[in-house]
């Protein structure tokens, strides 16, 4: 079996078949996602990823530098994308132009969907953090950087509405709850038992979040805080 | 080593009861799996560490995968059942502050999950990359047994509409995430002390369930 026929085919047709750098990058990220999800960080080699993408391993390194960097981009880009969009959309709202329900629902619904659909990738990330010594991951956990972004929205919401919660910890409580509901899904809702609908799960997490963060003793009425 | 399958009446004094054997095996499995992960732990060394035969291990658990799941999940099942068993006494007394049962639950569960953090990670990793592992319903069954208790709390305290089965799982998930993933969620130089995390979870739970005070939209 010719192990890199795809890669050779790619190289042998430099003219019209040459792919744009963006296209190569996309192919590599796609291949990386599927192999990291199936085999984990250690189990997926850059050689196999390049082969699956139909490009040379040298090109993989030219685009991403190291396996760890490729891993970060492949796993984190979808999550980063969601968080960035969410933060952009909600960080500058005034108290009058949105409800606590809407801002909570948009977060929980979107984040839970994303994590449920990419469960294998999130598992690859947490197991890599637990079992591999990857310098890039050890220096600053990517999850922690995402939480810091979310704090902006949570902190502003607390300020606008006069909620009394610890912003760094609460941000992580809610994100952690959503993350663990997705990752532990098959133990929490095992096959063969009646399972609540996705909507019911989302609604309850939203309620739990709304009331868990608001309605504390020292909270002031929303009207007073919106000034 | 003798491994007769049928325990005769008047067996030797040193013969261990099936429950003892089960506990020995689960303990040995927990320390072996925590240290080496699922793939690199053999049933033979677990049986050796427990001081029983490998045949007896298989008689009790059937497969390595099943032993693994039970070894990881059993401490949580035991805790949940213990929590349910200890609660009815409260009914006869005046209702304690809502914070009391919540703190009791969250704090103990958080400590237990922190203690078994490596095992929970090993379970997640094995689920992702090993074939032949089937998620078992033990944890979910134990969570179901909390329902009566939470229903009662909700009605005694006049709490608003709570989707009890889902909320029980959301609370478990929140505590598990903080215990197992906490160190990756916080910046490594700003990990809050356990007390602050527990306090915030308790407040979150007390207010998250207290919905009678819903603000007008």
Residues A51 and A132 in one domain: no
We report the CATH number of the domain holding residue B56 as 1.10.10.60
Residues B182 and B89 in one domain: yes
Residues B49 and B75 in one domain: no
Lowest pLDDT segment from A5-14, A72-81, B203-212? A5-14
* A93 CB-contact burial (10 Å; exposed 0-12 / middle 13-18 / buried 19+): middle
Contact (CB<8Å) B185/A183: no
Residues of A with Cβ-Cβ distance to B168 under 8 angstroms: none
What is the arithmetic mean of pLDDT over A160-164?
A: 85
We report the CATH number of the domain holding residue B116 as 1.10.357
Q: What is the DSSP letter of B188?
A: T
Residues A34 and A60 in one domain: yes
**Mean per-residue pLDDT of chain A:** 84
Residues of B with Cβ-Cβ distance to A141 under 8 angstroms: 183-185, 187-188
Min CA distance, A195 vs chain B (Å)?
A: 10
Distance CA(A192)–CA(B9), nearest Å, equals 40
In this structure, the dihedral spanned by the alpha carbons of residues B82, B85, B89 and B95, taken in order and rounded to 10 degrees, is: 70
Contact (CB<8Å) B139/A187: yes
Contact (CB<8Å) B128/A177: no
Residues A124 and A201 in one domain: yes
Is residue B123 in some structural domain?
Answer: yes
Residues B99 and B43 in one domain: no
B156 reaches A (C-beta below 8 A)? no
Residues B134 and B186 in one domain: yes
Q: Which of A144, A177, A221 sits opposite B184 (nearest CB)?
A: A144
In Å, how far are A29, A125, B181 from A142, measured between CA atoms? 18, 9, 12
Min CA distance, A209 vs chain B (Å)?
A: 6
Distance CA(A37)–CA(A52), nearest Å, equals 14
Residues B133 and B203 in one domain: yes
In Å, how far are A10, A18, A19, A63 from A14, measured between CA atoms? 8, 5, 9, 18
pLDDT of residue B157: 80
Q: What is the DSSP letter of B94?
A: P
Q: What is the span of the domain harbouring residue B37? A: 15-62
Q: Which residue has the higher pLDDT, B207 or A187?
A: A187
Do the beta carbons of residue B161 and residue B214 sit within 8 Å?
no
pLDDT of residue B214: 43
We report the CATH number of the domain holding residue A180 as 1.10.357.10
Q: Which residue, of A65, A95, A114, is where some domain finishes? A: A65
Is residue B1 in some structural domain?
Answer: no
Q: What is the DSSP letter of B91?
A: G
Residues B156 and B58 in one domain: no
pLDDT of residue A17: 62
pLDDT of residue A160: 87
Residues A2 and A37 in one domain: yes
Residues of B with Cβ-Cβ distance to A115 under 8 angstroms: none
Q: What is the span of the domain harbouring residue A4? A: 1-65
What is the tens place of the pLDDT at every residue in B83-113?
999 876 666 667 778 788 889 899 999 999 9
pLDDT higher than threshold 50 for residue A32: yes
Residues A164 and A206 in one domain: yes
Domain count, chain A: 2
Residues A186 and A85 in one domain: yes
pLDDT higher than threshold 70 for residue A1: no
CB contacts < 8 A, A to B, total 176
Closest B-chain CA to A220: B215
Residues B31 and B92 in one domain: no
Do the beta carbons of residue B174 and residue B102 sit within 8 Å?
no
Residues B93 and B138 in one domain: yes
Do the beta carbons of residue B157 and residue A114 sit within 8 Å?
no
End-to-end CA distance of chain B: 72
Q: Which of A123, A179, A215 sits opposite B177 (nearest CB)?
A: A179
Closest of A221, A218, A191, A107 to residue A154, by C-alpha: A107
Do the beta carbons of residue B178 and residue B204 sit within 8 Å?
no
pLDDT of residue A204: 93
Is residue B76 in some structural domain?
Answer: yes
Residues B35 and B112 in one domain: no
**Mean per-residue pLDDT of chain B:** 85
Residues B111 and B50 in one domain: no
Is residue B161 in some structural domain?
Answer: yes
Distance CA(B83)–CA(B79), nearest Å, equals 6
Domain count, chain B: 2
Mutate one of B34, B123, B208, B211 to test the A interface: name it (highest A CB count within 10 A): B208
Residues B46 and B118 in one domain: no
Q: What is the CA radius of gyration of chain B?
A: 21
pLDDT higher than threshold 60 for residue A10: no
Min CA distance, B164 vs chain A (Å)?
A: 9
Three-state secondary structure call for residue A65: coil
Q: Which residue has the higher pLDDT, A161 or B52?
A: B52
Distance CA(A126)–CA(A136), nearest Å, equals 14
Min CA distance, B113 vs chain A (Å)?
A: 13
ipTM for the whole complex:
0.85
Closest A-chain CA to B143: A188
pLDDT of residue A222: 41
Q: Which residue, of B6, B38, B62, is where some domain finishes? A: B62
A52-85 CB burial, b ≥16 within 10 A, e <16: bbbbbbebbeebbeebbebbbbbbbebbbebbee
Residues A95 and A141 in one domain: yes
Helix (H) or strand (E) holding A98: none
pLDDT of residue B48: 96
The token pair that represents A224 in the structure block: 């007073």
Residues A171 and A130 in one domain: yes
Is residue B5 in some structural domain?
Answer: no
Residues A124 and A55 in one domain: no
What is the tens place of the pLDDT at every residue in A49-77?
999 999 999 999 999 999 989 998 898 88
What is the tens place of the pLDDT at every residue in A84-140?
999 999 988 888 888 888 999 999 999 999 999 998 888 888 888 888 777 777 667
Q: Which residue has the higher pLDDT, A211 or B186?
A: B186
Is residue B10 in some structural domain?
Answer: no
Q: Which residue, of A23, A47, A65, is where some domain finishes? A: A65
Lowest pLDDT segment from A121-125, A190-194, B4-8? B4-8
Is residue B151 in some structural domain?
Answer: yes
Q: Which residue, of A65, A85, A103, is where some domain finishes? A: A65
What is the tens place of the pLDDT at every residue in B105-152?
999 999 999 999 999 998 988 887 776 677 888 899 999 999 988 888
Mutate one of B118, B139, B200, B204 to test the A interface: name it (highest A CB count within 10 A): B204
Q: How many CA atoms lie within 13 A of A150 on its CB side?
A: 29
Residues A134 and A61 in one domain: no
Residues B94 and B179 in one domain: yes
Do the beta carbons of residue B73 and residue B139 sit within 8 Å?
yes
Is residue B188 in some structural domain?
Answer: yes
Residues A43 and A20 in one domain: yes
Distance CA(A119)–CA(A106), nearest Å, equals 19
């Amino acid at each position: 079996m010719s192990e890199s026929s795809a890669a050779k085919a790619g190289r042998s047709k430099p003219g019209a078949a040459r792919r744009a750098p963006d296209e190569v990058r996309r192919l590599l990220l796609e291949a990386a996602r599927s192999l990291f999800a199936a085999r984990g960080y250690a189990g997926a080699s850059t050689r196999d990823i390049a082969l699956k993408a139909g490009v040379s391993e040298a090109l993989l390194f030219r685009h991403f530098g190291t396996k760890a960097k490729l891993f970060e981009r492949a796993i984190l880009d979808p999550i980063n994308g969601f968080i960035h969009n969410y933060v952009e959309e909600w960080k500058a709202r005034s108290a009058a132009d949105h409800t606590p329900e809407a801002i909570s629902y948009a977060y929980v619904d979107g984040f839970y969907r994303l994590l449920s659909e990419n469960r294998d990738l999130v598992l690859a990330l947490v197991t890599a953090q637990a079992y591999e010594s990857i310098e890039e991951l050890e220096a600053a956990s990517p999850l922690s950087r995402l939480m810091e972004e979310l704090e902006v929205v949570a902190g502003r919401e607390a300020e606008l509405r006069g909620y009394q919660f610890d912003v760094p910890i609460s941000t992580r409580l809610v994100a952690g709850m959503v993350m663990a509901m997705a990752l532990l899904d098959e133990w929490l809702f095992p096959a063969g038992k009646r399972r609540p609908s996705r909507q019911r799960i989302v609604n309850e997490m939203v309620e739990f979040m709304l009331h868990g963060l608001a309605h504390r003793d020292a909270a002031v009425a929303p009207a007073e805080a919106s000034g | 080593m003798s491994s007769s399958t049928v325990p005769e009446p008047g067996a030797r004094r040193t013969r261990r009861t099936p429950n003892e054997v089960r506990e020995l095996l689960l303990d040995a499995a927990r320390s072996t799996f925590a240290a080496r992960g699922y793939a690199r732990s053999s049933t033979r060394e677990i049986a050796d560490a427990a001081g029983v035969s490998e045949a007896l291990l298989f008689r009790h658990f059937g497969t390595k995968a099943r032993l693994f799941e039970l070894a990881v999940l059993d401490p949580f099942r035991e805790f949940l059942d213990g929590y349910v068993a200890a609660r009815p006494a409260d009914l006869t007394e005046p209702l304690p502050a809502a914070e009391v049962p919540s703190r009791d639950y969250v704090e103990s569960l958080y400590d237990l999950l922190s203690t078994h953090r490596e095992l929970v990670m090993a379970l997640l990793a094995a689920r992702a990359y090993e074939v032949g592992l089937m998620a078992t319903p033990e944890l979910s069954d134990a969570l179901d047994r909390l329902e009566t208790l939470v229903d009662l709390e909700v009605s005694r305290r006049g709490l608003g509409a709570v989707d009890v089965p889902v909320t029980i799982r959301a609370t478990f998930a929140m505590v598990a995430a903080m215990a197992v993933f906490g160190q990756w969620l916080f910046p490594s130089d700003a990990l809050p002390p356990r007390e602050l995390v527990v306090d915030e979870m308790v407040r979150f739970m007390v207010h998250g369930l207290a919905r009678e005070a819903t603000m007008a939209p």
